[in-house]
Amino acid sequence: MSRKVKIGITQRVDKVDSYNEYRDALDQKMIDWVVDAGFIPIPIPNTLVDLDSSDESQPRLGGWLRELNINALILSGGNDIGNVPQRDLTENYLLTWAKKNMAPVLGICRGMQMMGMYAGGGLMCVDGHVGVKHKLYNGDKASDLFPESVNSYHNHVLQERPEGYKILAKSEDGNLEAMMHKELPWEAWMWHPERESIFLQSDLDRFKKLVKNGQ
C-alpha cells in the first residue's frame, strides 16, 4: 500500500503551568504505529477552529485539510470530553468532514467516545478499566476479530450502541469495546494499540484494511 496515504491524527491538549502554555501533544508511539502500518502520520493542531464563530464550516481547519490532502483520520486518546472545548470542536468538525468525504476514521479510546457522542450517544463512568488488561467478547464467546486481551486506560464508556453502528466486541463486564459504522468506513476501539510494547500485527492489519476499504 502506498506510503503517500496521509493519516491526520488528533492530539490531546496539555496545560503547562510552569511555562504558561497550552500544548498539543501526541504519544510518539502513535507516530510509530501509523508508520508501521505503512502510512504518513500528520498531527492535527487544535488551534485552527474558532470557538466564537457561528460559521460551522471552520474555514481554517477545512483549508488545512485540503492543503495537506489528508486521506483518513485517527481520533486519538487523552482529555475527557467536555474538558477541552477546542479539541471537542476540532474533532466534531473532523467527523463532519469525514462523513462528507467518506474518509476512513479510526477512533481510539476517547476517539470512540467522541464518535459515539457525535451519533447522539452518551457516556457513563466505569470502574476497573484503568491500567489493566481484559478479554474481548462477541456475544457469549471470545471475539475472533481482535486480540484475545487488550489494554485499558479509560474511566468512561458509551452507555449503549450508537445509532448507525454495529458492535464488534464487549469487555468481560459487558461494556462496549469496539464498533464499526454500518455505512461509513469508520471503526473504533477502546484500547490503545500504540501502547503495546510490541505492536500487534492484528491491530495494524485491521487498520490497514479500514483505510484501504475507504480509498
| Residue spans of alpha helices (H) in 102-200 | 110-118
Q: Write out the residue range of the structural domain in which residue 192 sits.
A: 6-214
- For residue 44, which of 2, 4, 16, 12 has the smallest C-alpha distance? 12
**Does a structural domain hold residue 93?**
yes
Residues 104-155: pLDDT tens digits?
999 999 999 999 999 999 987 887 676 778 888 887 666 777 878 888 887 8
Please state, in angstroms and rounded to a whole number, the distance separating the CA atoms of residues 212 and 215. 5
Residue 109 belongs to some domain of the structure: yes
For residue 36, pLDDT beyond 70: yes
Residue 2 has pLDDT above 50, yes or no: no
The single-letter code of the amino acid at 97 is: W
Averaged pLDDT score across all residues of the chain = 91
How large is the average pLDDT for residues 157-175?
90
Please state the pTM of the whole predicted model: 0.92
The predicted model gives 54-80 an average pLDDT of 92
Instruction: Tell me how many domains the chain contains.
Output: 1
| pLDDT higher than threshold 80 for residue 53 | no
Asked if residue 74 belongs to a domain, the reply is: yes
Average pLDDT on 168-186 reads 92
**d(C-alpha 190, C-alpha 177), whole Å:** 5
CB < 8 Å & 24+ apart, contacts of 94-97: 94/8, 94/10, 94/44, 94/61, 96/56, 97/62, 97/65
- Assess whether pLDDT exceeds 80 at residue 94: yes
Kindly state the average pLDDT of the residues 84-109: 96
- Residue-level pLDDT at 1: 43
Average pLDDT over residues 59-64: 94
Instruction: Indicate which CATH number applies to the domain containing 10.
Output: 3.40.50.880
With respect to residue 204, please indicate whether it lies within any of the assigned structural domains: yes
Q: What percent of the chain has pLDDT over 90?
A: 73
- Would 1 be classed as within a structural domain? no
